[in-house]
Amino acid sequence: MGLSSFVDEAPCRNSDPWLFDQHQIDLAMPALQICKDCPFWQNCNDLVEPKSNSFDGVCAGKVWRNGRVLAKLDSAFPNRLIVGEELDDETMAVRGSELFGSGDGLLLSREESNQSRESISEKDL
């Protein structure tokens, strides 16, 4: 599937672009709500190239500031949001959002978040 063809099928195709310009996590939640069910995270990342373009906003299920990931949806559990500066082990914290459900099961323990991170490659960040 080419880059242009996925855009026509992406869940965000009819959304207000302003939603995806948000780099503050609380303001980015509506865009992340749209991203959580999207099968095109890699296509989106390839199109926007957020890391190399110092992107600010929401792209590929992640909140970016100056090309760095501030928060991201857990690829194994898209209802969970992983939050932390550059998402390294020392600063990583995890929180749930009421936008993603009732709050039950949204928070990861440190062990669960470490297990989840082991399945995520450095390329994903």
Residue 98 has a pLDDT of: 42
**Mean pLDDT to the nearest integer, 44-62:** 94
Region 89-104 average pLDDT: 44
The model's pTM is 0.67
Give the per-residue pLDDT at 91. 38
pLDDT at 114: 52
Which pLDDT does position 99 carry in this prediction?
Answer: 46
Q: How far apart are CA 92 and CA 96, in angstroms?
A: 14
Domain boundaries, the chain: 3-124
